[in-house]
Amino acid sequence: MNHLGTNFYEAVSVILFGIGFMNLLLQNNLIKKFIGLNIMDTAVYLFLAAKGYIWGRVAPILTDGIVDASYYVNPIPAGLVLTGIVVSVSVTAFSLALVQRLYMHYGTLNMDEIMKISREEEGE
Amino acid sequence: MEHINWIHNIPFFSIFLAMLCGIITALVKNGRLAFKIHSIMVFIIFVMSVILLISVVKNNEIFTFMMGHFPAPWGNELRAGPLEALMAVTFSIVMLLTVSGGSEFIFKDVVPEKQPLYFIMLNALFGAMLALVYTNDIFTAYVFIEINTIASCALIMAKGTPQSMVGTTHYLVISLLGSGLFLLGVCILYSITGHLLFPQMKEAILEIIKTEQYRLPLLVVTGFMFIGIAIKSALFPFHSMLPGAYHSAIPTSSGILSGLVLKSYIILGIKLIYCVFSAEVMHTLKITEVLFVFGLAGMVMGSVYAMRERKMKRMLAYSSVAQIGYIYMGIGMGSRVGMTAACFHILAHAITKTLLFLCCGSFVEDSGGKEKIYHMRGAALRNPLAGIGYTVGALSMIGIPLLAGFISKIYFATASVYSSGKMAAVLIILGVSMVLNALYFLPSVIAIWTPEKGVEMKPVSSVSPLFAVSIVGFILLNFVLGVCYRPITRIIQMSIELLAQ
Amino acid sequence: MGEKKSFWKHLKAWVDGEEVILDADKYIVSRSVKEKKNWGGRYSMENIKGNKKLYGFLSVAISVLFIGIMLSVVNDLPEFGNPSNPANNEVMERYLESGIEETGAINFVAGMILDYRAFDTFGESNVLFLAVMCVVLLLKKDKNNYSEKEEAENWEDDYFDENEKRPILKVGGKLLAPLIILYGIYVILNGHLSPGGGFSGGTIIGAGLILYASAYGQKKMQTFFTFRTFTLICVACLLTYCACKSYSFFTGANHVGYEIPKGIPGNILSSGFILPLNICVGLIVACTMYGFYALFTKGDI
């Protein structure tokens, strides 16, 4: 099997996932870290959306009254992506709220510095 | 109208009742009322789960429950057998005892107007854990994993101190990484099997193994999903989120997170092993071996970290890492006996670690917020009940006979005999780990019973009755599991045989 | 021998429950010196630069390794767009061929997420609800989360909201917000007939509310949208959702009568529970989106 040439959507999505992961590991700034996480999520949705497509078929909404499974693309990945997007929105909102609280107390967004200051405070 | 089998509805009722209480609590303005709603809900679920457990054990059955009008490959499904029912019973009883025993911590540490929100999170967390235990659909599992993540992060940061925010951020980033990997695994698995429900996936996977097509994707997917679950349940190299989070959270939250939330992911993992990948496939893909090695490493390293720690809660957090290592070692043995030991250890650890966290929280409160073991000298004399609880918990973790921890260690040792080539490793590491456990738990026990020189220790007059009841309940449970363990292990063995069919 | 003695001393100190570090005085002195240091950005970078390089290298290596493994997996995955892939099986066929009779929805995706796999979607709306409650838990003003500076800024914002002219924004907001909200309502109500549904429509309505709030200030929003209304709408919608789905799950699983008319596919009033569920989800999402905005800017709704 050699589908790398045809599966370029999937290939791009896994590269994006890797970029997001790298961002998560390398960035010190918390907001950039969470952007990395978002890139990872989006990459997974691209992957899923690509898996649902079938050549030459149309979106899964009844058109011209045709009830035939070989006329529409696969609706399942679309539903999964929808669920996934909502989850990722919620998680992003939660993490940004956390970042806001952290910034209010520590005055910085740098994770290393925050860890250090908090360790100092704890040590007393 | 046909006859309705009410008992088969129990899993569905439990999940929806917990979620419903979570939603209704948003209208409540008073923390105490929210606490009452929560306790009543958990108690009802406890009773229902006991009925379910008795019924499934009596009929020796495992049943699926259709969520909606559409049968298996089209609609969602729940699935309940003895293992699921046993876990639901354990989760509800531990939840009930922990939250009622730790309610004083909640009312003290959380700002009054936000206490109902804390209980929303507890209810939702409980519902999500039940859903993870009962689910028979991998995407439902993913959605409820996310609910679990959000709710457990909320429990950590409910205290509102900057430290708890830092702990939450750490916990959130690492658990999101875990769920991201799990989601990626789900997507690839869907694209090679075409199904989302466990039984259909299992058939497709057996087909893949036979035809050798998509062999590499299957291996990588299995790896990703189990790495995801391992990250979520804090297996050794991924444990870094635990100490900060547990240290800065309210003791009640730490107890629930360490005793129950980590376990719910492990149970999902066990269900995946048997119902999706099947034990043989796991064995041919060598995933169990990897889990076994990391489990062994976790057992030693968790204890080593715990020894170096001078703060009690952080020590308990590292001890959780070691105990999670035990469970993964049992799973990694790849035999049913090993799995039985692992499941028993899940129960033993759930009741013991929550007890330890509650007692530890009470010591910290008595000593005026100081957290080092050094500052807790004589704490047990001030609060004898918590002292006894801590002692029993610590002895159980070390593995003293008559207590739950001893039985699980016996089972691990017995299980090692059945898995060829792993016996020596298991026995040696088990011995080393027990010595290490003793090395860090005994000093803390001695410390809390030795009075500080020149300071007179007076017992604290006010121990809240709920706290007393829950500590006594946990101690009794520990002895029950340690003495009459036969029926429980029989249920676990039976359920694993049913699952593996 | 000396080493052993010190080990025993360690152990004894430990069993006594004392500090493990023996020469604690020195330790305390050195720590107090450390505390005087300024934890500025430069210090931390200089101190761990060596490690930083290794760390960076390792992270890049792990990511590249990951991409490599995944590319080889993608190489082995089913071909893109091929109708005979494993994912295109009987599950999808039934969703597409019997979807209209069984759910009454013309939009197959809506039928799938709100009827066939409704349990997932129930979990998903709970995730949204929990997230907004978490944000409330984090950002709503209380004694742990209060700074005078922010209070002053909020006061300034209110002052500008009242006294500034902002003609373009205000006129634009007045004209556009109702249109946007109307469009959102259209998307929600046609969720089972056309692309869209509760989530997308709710987001659009939320955007309209945010536009209005940023043009006229949150004081004005609070005349009709307070925290109380917010919770009431969310809870009412979720309870409706929960009730509808419990009814449908219970009747479905126990094979007892299910008396919800499907209507004629293609009409607005059709497809059983899907329309009310879409409305519930839409309201929750709209409230949530506006709630996020309000909590992030002001710390209150």
Contact B191/C78 with Cβ under 8 angstroms? yes
Write down the H helix ranges in B334-373.
336-366
* CB within 8 Å of B500: residues ≥ 6 apart: B274, B278, B279, B336
For residues B287 and B277, what is the distance between their CA atoms, to the nearest angstrom?
11
- As a whole number, mean pLDDT of residues C155-164 equals 82
Residue type at position B434: M
Angle at CA of residue B402, ends B268 and B129, nearest 5°: 20
Contact B78/B126 with Cβ under 8 angstroms? no
* CB within 8 Å of B233: residues ≥ 6 apart: B262, B263, B265, B266, B269, B324
Contact A38/A24 with Cβ under 8 angstroms? no
Dihedral of alpha carbons B455, B457, B461, B465, sign: positive
In a domain, B210, yes or no: no
SS3 B64: strand
Whole-number pLDDT of residue B460? 67
In a domain, A63, yes or no: yes
B143 neighbourhood in chain C, CB within 8 Å: 120, 123-124, 127
**A68: domain range?**
8-123
Whole-number pLDDT of residue C29? 40
Write down the H helix ranges in C104-258.
108-111, 118-139, 148-163, 167-189, 198-216, 218-221, 227-254
* pLDDT of A62 above 90: no
Higher pLDDT, C196 or B298: B298
Contact check, Cβ <8 Å, A108/C77:
no
B486 touches chain C (CB under 8 A): no
For residues C200 and C278, what is the distance between their CA atoms, to the nearest angstrom?
10
The interface predicted TM-score of the complex, written ipTM, equals: 0.94
Contact check, Cβ <8 Å, B150/A102:
no
Whole-number pLDDT of residue B279? 82
In a domain, A2, yes or no: no
Contact B382/B371 with Cβ under 8 angstroms? no
Residue type at position B461: S
**Token pair of B498, please?**
């049913």
- As a whole number, mean pLDDT of residues C127-149 equals 85
Higher pLDDT, B366 or C229: C229
pLDDT in tens, B44-91: 999 999 999 999 999 888 888 888 788 878 888 888 889 999 999 999
φ/ψ region of B5 (left if φ > 0, alpha if ψ in -120 to 50, else beta) reads: beta
Q: Specify the DSSP class assigned to residue A110.
A: B
In a domain, B321, yes or no: yes
Residue A116 sits in a domain whose CATH number is 1.10.287.3510
Grade residue C300 by pLDDT with cuts at 50, 70 and 90.
Answer: confident
In a domain, B255, yes or no: no
In a domain, A102, yes or no: yes
Contact check, Cβ <8 Å, B190/A105:
no
For residues B434 and B399, what is the distance between their CA atoms, to the nearest angstrom?
7
Q: Any idea which residue has 């049992």 for tokens?
A: B330
* pLDDT of C4 above 80: no
Question: Best interface-test mutation with C: which of A3, A86, A115 has the largest number of C CBs within 10 A?
Answer: A86
**B468: domain range?**
286-501
In a domain, B290, yes or no: yes
Contact check, Cβ <8 Å, A37/B163:
no
For residues B322 and B56, what is the distance between their CA atoms, to the nearest angstrom?
33
Question: Which residues, listed in sequence order, are joined to residue B355 by a DSSP beta bridge?
Answer: none
* pLDDT of B148 above 70: yes
pLDDT in tens, C243-277: 988 888 888 887 777 777 777 777 777 777 888 88
B194 touches chain C (CB under 8 A): yes
A47 neighbourhood in chain B, CB within 8 Å: 184, 187-188
C63 touches chain B (CB under 8 A): no
Output the CA–CA distances (angstroms, integers) from residue B14 to B19, B134, B197, B240, in the order listed. Answer: 9, 10, 21, 33
Output the CA–CA distances (angstroms, integers) from residue A1 to B192, C75, C79, in the order listed. Answer: 14, 7, 9
Give the number of domains in chain A. Answer: 1
Q: How far is B150 from chain C (nearest CA, A)?
A: 7
pLDDT in tens, C192-228: 888 888 889 999 999 999 999 888 888 888 888 888 8
Of B7, B142, B16, whose CA–CA distance to B61 is shortest? B7
Dihedral of alpha carbons B482, B487, B488, B489, sign: positive
Q: How far is A25 from chain C (nearest CA, A)?
A: 6
For residues B93 and B202, what is the distance between their CA atoms, to the nearest angstrom?
33
C127 touches chain B (CB under 8 A): yes
Give the number of domains in chain B. Answer: 1
In a domain, B466, yes or no: yes
Residue type at position B473: G
Out of A68-72, B206-210, B274-278, B357-361, give the one with best mean pLDDT. B357-361
What are residue B372's phi and psi, to 5 degrees?
A: -75, 150
Nearest to A61 among C108, C124, C134 (CB): C108
**Token pair of C264, please?**
């004629």
In a domain, B177, yes or no: no
* pLDDT of B126 above 70: yes
pLDDT in tens, B1-23: 457 788 888 899 999 999 999 99
Whole-number pLDDT of residue C41? 37
Whole-number pLDDT of residue C253? 81
Question: Which residues, listed in sequence order, are joined to residue B76 by a DSSP beta bridge?
Answer: B67
* pLDDT of B43 above 90: yes
* pLDDT of C33 above 70: no
Total residues found in chain A within this entry:
124
In a domain, A71, yes or no: yes
Contact check, Cβ <8 Å, A100/C117:
no
**Token pair of C278, please?**
């879409």
In a domain, A17, yes or no: yes
B111 touches chain C (CB under 8 A): yes
In a domain, A1, yes or no: no
In a domain, B44, yes or no: no
- Measured N-to-C along each axis, helices B31-59 and B486-500 cross at an angle, to the nearest 10 degrees, of 70
What are residue B377's phi and psi, to 5 degrees?
A: -60, 130
